[in-house]
Structures are given as structure tokens and as C-alpha cells.
A and B are shown apart, each in its own frame.
Chain A
Amino acid sequence: MPDEQFEIDILRYRPETENEPVMQTYTIPYVRDWSVLDALNHIKDNLDGTLSYRWSCKMAVCGSCGMMVNGEPKLSCNTFLRDYHPGKITVEPLAHFPIERDLIINMDSFMEKLEKIKPYLIPTEEKPLADGEHLQSPDELMKYKQYSMCINCLLCYSACPEFGLEPDFLGPAALSLALRYNLDSRDNGQDQRTRIANTDKGVWPCMFVGSCSEVCPKHVNPASAIQQTKITSTIEWYKNVLMPRGSEAGGND
């Protein structure tokens, strides 16, 4: 064990015994290769078993371990102590979400939004399995691939000032996934999803600050997804003014 020490302030909140969150300082060994998650695990194993947080894969793909590190939303598993050394760090739960306990947020609202945008293929007709796969060229795949990379870590919601003001805003991840399916050559559900996106809780609260894209650990670029969807929504709006839905042949409901 190295001799050098490292200080971490961690926001603690135990709703059964505390009315308000409090900061607690832990002193740990400084290990250059440790992630913030490694530091939390060191604390939980050796110093304080009551510290609670979510984690699993430790390789930045399960999306569990999002938290604020020095005020920025990060995956704690691929955020390293060395990048803050010398100095201390402050770890808090993801901003803009209700805190359940310590570093654990309530993510019910995201789960509802995800379900709402119909994140599954809505094909024109079911293709029998015996007919094999749909053909999809590499170019067609590339159109939506980026938006399929979302790990639902919710860092983008924590970075989004609009979500901070309007908790019902569908938000970056859900809207990116809606676009992911809209852009898929196998899908015919864009009409249904645009109706959900084209509302005052859909794409329109977004002021294109772009911080969602900056913090996304998977380079999904939700800001771009939302701007693209705004354009589609505007076209849809004009189409509906000129050709009301009731008269539209083949409406998909």
C-alpha cells in the first residue's frame, strides 16, 4: 500500500435517520490506477459498510454507476483518481434526480419515458422467421447505430439544464432512442413516435445547450438526435396543417 493519502467527500443521505443529506469525508490510500468506483469499494469493504451506491460491470457498459464527480456527471468506473490528483474529490448522486439514499437516485421517471417512446421496431408487416433476416446495408445500419449505443446511464439528464427545470421533459436518452428506431430501415413507427416527441414535454423544451452530448460516455450525441427530431416534427406539423391526419391514407395506429 502506498503511503500517500487521498480525500473524498461523499454525499450521504440515510432517509431513516437523516432529514437532510450531509457530506462525509473519507481518507483512503492514493492508488494511481484506482477508479472512483474502486475508491468507493475500498471504503465500503474496509471503512464503512453503510455507504450505498449502484455498480456492476466496472467496464463502462452496464450504466449503473453514474454519479457527480466534482460537479460533473461521470461513470465512476472509468473516472480515475489520478485525473484529480493532487487534490480531493467530491462525489454526489446524479443531479436533477430524487435521491433515494447516499449515491442512489430514483430513476422511475426515466423508465416511464423509455417505455413511452416505443423503443422497439414497429414494422409494416411481420416477416416470418423462415424468410430469414431483413436486408440492411452497412450504410443503413450506420444511420442509426450511434443512437443505439445508449447505455441508459442518465449522465445526460444530469447535465441537461432543461431537465433540471422540467422533470417531465422526455430528455436526451429517451429522445435519442426514439430517433434510433425512427432511422432504422426496418421500422415504420416514426409517425407514432413523432407524435410523442412533438409535444411540449418532447423535443421542444431543449434549448440546444449541448451538454448532454459532452458528457455522454458512449458518444451517442443526443443533442444532434433532438435537433434532427425537431426538424422532423416541424415537417410533420406542416403536413398535419395541410393534410389533417384523419384524411391521411394508411395512418399507422
Chain B
Amino acid sequence: MEVITTDIVIIGAGGAGLRAAITVAEQYPDLKIALISKVYPMRSHTVAAEGGAAAVTQDHDTLENHFHDTVSGGDWLCDQDTVQYFVEHAREELVQLEHWGCPWSRKSDGHVDVRAFGGMKIERTWFAADKSGFHILHTLFQTSLKYGSINRFDEYFTTDLIVEDGRCQGVVAIEIATGSMRLFVAKAVILATGGAGRVFRANTNGAIVTGDGMGMAYRAGVPLQDMEFVQYHPTCLAATGILMTEACRGEGGILVNKDGYRFLQDYGLGPVDPWPRNKAMELGPRDRLSQAIWHEQQKGRTIKTENGDVVNLDLRHLGAKKLQERLPFICELAKDFAGVDPVTTPIPVKPAVHYTMGGVKTDLTATTPLPGLYAVGECASNGLHGANRLGSNSLTELVVFGKQAGIYASEYAKNVAVTNQSAIEAQAEKYRQRIDSLLNRAEGNERISTIRKEMALTMEEGIGIYRTGDSMQATCNKLSELRERMKSAKLDDTSSVYNTELFLAIELEAMLETAASMAHSALNRKESRGSHQRLDGYENRDDVNYLKHSLAYYNADGDPKIEYADVCITTSQPAERVYGGAADDRGK
């Protein structure tokens, strides 16, 4: 097997991986970087983010406001040291993107404009119309081309981490174009592989969002933290799951049920007036809005369509001019994929899985419990989002903590040497055999697409917006069955060149493990908090027993082992989450 020796391996070339790579290249020019991605960088799923990135910007806003919005939005499961670092460094990182050319939307005086977002007390979301992620990704990728020390390995699929002498010392990856495996020997490895939303049926995520990095770290013994917290975005196109950004509501859009009634006022988010106002009605947090839509459906007040029950996202009153200026992509998507012109017709929407709050356990330095391994972005859980992420915090997270990952991985890499190379190579050989046996399995009759669809369905049924012990147990059982059946999966394609079916199979193996970590973490959390809501006697938050992060540990022979760790609380003691009029009263 060809061996590539480098200092730092970065897996994933989306917003977080690119920001990490640029940091290493700028601040540690002597370190060699291998930036490995299963797709060309500009295809990474950061590209699909629409609404914007949060940072305290206006004079009447404060870091304390952003801190409090994030911590209360996360239902107090956030690590407050991480949140503090985040709010303090958010603005400089968005300014850095501006200096690299990001075409942020501007006010008439030439300063960057900000818009309102859900759960945010003051407008602080920087945006590039409604393609903020696209512009951030292309700005970072194009900027990265300046640096000679970033060696890209585009369309290389990383399958496993190499752990030797108790630390991460490299990875193995398959060159997709040829099918040949390479061993990357490195002093430090940064995971920036994105989320795992594709384990659910209805989701906003691209095909590539399959939790590969989570799966790799998990199999290597690193715990996955807070995996039960999965965000349903309330406003997605019914047939395709395509995201209708929260910025639609930030710009003044409203949600109505089949009677044209703004139902959110019935769920602790009203009163309706004065409108618009922050942290009320349609500008509530995503978990509360998705839950409200679920209740409307139970009451029979949603609209039945061939693609399921929907509510209407009404933007008509914004007018054609504003829609074209602020939400042009939304108009295009609604027309192309739902046959609806938002200027004249409300958009039918329903909740779909959007974001995994959980991930590889890290801290505010992107450091994992495994020496030499760092993780950042949606694949990581550094305690920023707690039990529910606020919209526009995740794009900022990519750059704030992408930089941290670059710095901490570099400092580590400077001070270690690769040890036991022969054992590393032996491990790589073992991983190659695993892939070979998957590729050339003689016996077996399971189609991977069948297993994938059954997995996505059982996750939706058991680990949805509302959960019960029975439904979660059923999903855990189903996932065990699917994991067994995966051993009999047989590929149609046994070739080497661009064998995309092989990569679907490897992704599915990771997804089955990631899904199990979600389902078991959920089953074990006997309370309701943020995006984890139960209907079976655990409807309330339980700070006595569950003001804790869950940690799921891989178990090759069966169900994951679930442990718990303390949440870092500095200045904000847990309190009731309030929005709408109740929040206004509390503010007085």
C-alpha cells in the first residue's frame, strides 16, 4: 500500500476543514497538510446553508445577549466555557471571511448588514442574500488555493483512523477514481466530516452527509456526545426536504395552519403583536416550532397533501422586490421544486431533520479524548449547541472552531513523532482486508438500498420530534437487526474505478453505528429537553438527573454503552426557557 507521510491530515473540506487548513498553512507554514475529501471541496454540504452566520455586531447588542440566547436556546445543556469563547470570537472570524472576499450583503453605508433569526434577541446574523453557506464555502476554498502547503486529495474516501500507541497517527483512504487504498501517516488528524442527517428519511441534507467521521471515531473508541439531540428544521419542502431558510421568517414570513391561523401563538410563542419582534412567534427556536407543527397535525389542523401534512409559510406580504433582494434562492427553489411562486402563493412546508447537535466529543479547543485526534464542525460536539442549536450559530462555529482545530492540532504535531510505523502499516493492511471482504463478498442477498431505507424509516418512526420508550426501543431493536443483515449485504459492483456502490456501503455501515448511538442515547435519557421530547411520563426537564451530556461508546458485539458527563456551567444557572410574551415580561 502506498504510504503518504504528512504532518496533519484533515478529513473533510467543507467550511470547518478549509478553515482549519488555512490556519495551519498561515500560522505553521512548515507543517505539511493533507486535506482529504470524498468530494471536491466546493461540493461539501456547507454549500447548502442559506440563512447566515451569527456574531454580535450592533451597538445595542452584547456578548452576554448572544451567550444567553445560545445557552437558553440549548436548554442549558451547552458547555458555557465553549459558548463564551464562541461569542467572543464570532465577529472577528466573520470579519476574516469578509477580508477574504465573502460577498456579505451590505447596508447603504457600506457596512455588513444583519438580519433577525430564530431565538436571537437582537439581529446579529450576517448573510450573503440566502446563499450564505455557498459563499462562505467558495470564499474559503478559493482562498485556500493561495497556500502551497495544503495538499488536496479530492475524491479520496477515508475509511478508518489509525490508532497506535494510544494516539491517532493517521488514516487510510481509498482513491475513488482507482479504488486503491493509501495510508496517510500523520502526527495529528482533524475530523471535519459534517453531520449524519441522512440516517433519517425526511432530511434537508445532501447525499454525502452520512456521519463518516462520527463512525470512524466511534469505532476507534472515542465517545459520541449528545447524539439523541437531532434538530428538525420546521420549514422544509414536503416532497424533497429542501430547506426554506429561517431567514424567510427573519425577513417577516409567517406560518399558518389550514385555517390561515398563526398557530404558534398557541404554543408559548405569542401573542402575535407587535410583529415582527425577536424571540417570538415565527422567530422562536427551531425545536419549539417543529414541535408546534407536530401538535397541529395531531389536532387535524395541518393541510393534507400527497407528500404528507404541511403548514403554509407565507411570504407574500414581503413583496416581489424584497423577496428578490433578500431571498432569491428561496424563490428559485420554491418554483423549481414545489411549483410555487412565493410572491403570489404560500409555500407548503413541514419539519425535516436538519442538523445533528451531537457528535465526536470535543471541547473549545477541538480536542477529542483520543490524543492526536481533533474534530470540528457538525461532526463534533463541543458543547456549543446543547439540546437545540440556534439558527446561524453553526456557520460561525465552522470558522471559530476550525481555526482552533488548526492551532491545537499544529501545536500537538510540532511536539510528537510518529512511532511504530510497522504496526501502523499492519493496521492499514487489516483495514484494507475489511474493505476487500465487503467488496468481494461471495454469499449474501441483502441490497444496501433496502437496508438504508429501512434504517431511515425506523429512525423517523422512533427518534422523531416526539418519542416514547416503546418507539425508541423498537428502533433500537430494528437497528440491531439491520446491523446483522448488513453482514449479508452484497454489492452489484465489484469493480475498482469509481465504484460508487462500494462507498454507499461503507457510508451505510457508518450510518448504522451512528443511528444506534442516537437511538440508545435517546432511550436512556428519561426526560424532555430541547429537541429530545418524550410522551411517556418524562415530559419535563430533569436537571437533577439529566443535566448531563450523554456519551455513547462503541461496542463491537452489541448495543452502545451510554455514560454521562457533567455540563460546564459558569454564569448561567438552568432556568425556564421562555419566548414570546413571557420573555418580554421577564425582560422588564
Contacts and interface: CB of A to CB of B under 8 A. Distances in A.
Contact of A101 (B48, B111, B497): B497
A59 B498 CA distance: 23
B447 A62 contact: no
Nearest to A119: B142
Count chain B CB atoms within 10 A of each CB in A107, A151, A187 and give the residue with the most. Answer: A151
A97 to B, nearest CB: 14
Most buried by A among B104, B498, B499: B498
B495 A152 contact: no
B108 A52 contact: no
B239 A58 contact: no
A62 B43 contact: yes
Given A100-B177, A114-B145, A115-B145, A52 B99 contact: no
Given A50-B493, A62-B43, A144 B103 contact: yes
A26 interface: no
A132 interface: yes
Contact of B495 (A14, A54, A123, A181): A14
B99 A56 contact: no
Contact of B99 (A48, A62, A129, A137): A129
A53 B145 CA distance: 26
Interface in A52-76: 52-64
A253 interface: no
A107 B40 contact: yes
B500 interface: yes
Contacts of A120: 100-101, 142-143, 145-146
Contacts of B575: none
Interface residues of A, number: 62
Interface stretch (B90-98, B389-397, B462-470, B542-550): B90-98
A61 B239 contact: no
A64 B45 CA distance: 11
A121 B242 contact: no
A57 B42 CA distance: 11
Contacts of A60: 332-333, 336
A17 interface: yes
Given A50-B492, A121-B100, A57 B206 contact: yes
Interface in A24-62: 33, 44-46, 48-50, 52-62
A145 interface: yes
A56 B39 contact: yes
Contact of A58 (B43, B111, B206): B206
B108 A148 contact: no
B547 to A, nearest CB: 36
Given A119-B142, A151-B42, A58 B207 contact: yes
Contacts of A15: 497
Contacts of A87: none
A223 interface: no
A2 to B, nearest CB: 12
Contact of A148 (B103, B107, B206, B333): B103
Which of B101, B208, B448, B501 is most buried by chain A, counting CB atoms within 10 A of its CB? B101
A121 B498 contact: no
A129 B92 CA distance: 6
B94 to A, nearest CB: 8
A56 B101 contact: no
A49 B95 contact: no
A102 B106 CA distance: 44
Interface string B262-285: 000000000000000000000000
A104 B498 contact: yes
A101 B112 CA distance: 45
Nearest to B208: A56
B537 interface: no
Nearest to B113: A138
24 contacts: A16-B496, A44-B500, A45-B447, A52-B500, A53-B500, A56-B207, A57-B206, A58-B206, A58-B240, A59-B48, A59-B243, A62-B43, A63-B43, A78-B336, A120-B143, A120-B145, A130-B92, A136-B106, A138-B105, A138-B108, A145-B103, A148-B138, A184-B101, A187-B101
Interface of B: 39-40, 42-45, 47-48, 92, 95-96, 98-101, 103-112, 131, 134-135, 138, 142-143, 145-146, 154, 177, 206-208, 239-240, 242-243, 329, 332-333, 336-337, 447-449, 453, 491-493, 495-501
Given A133-B95, A141-B105, A151-B42, 10 more contacts: A49-B493, A52-B498, A52-B501, A59-B243, A62-B42, A101-B498, A120-B100, A135-B111, A145-B103, A177-B142
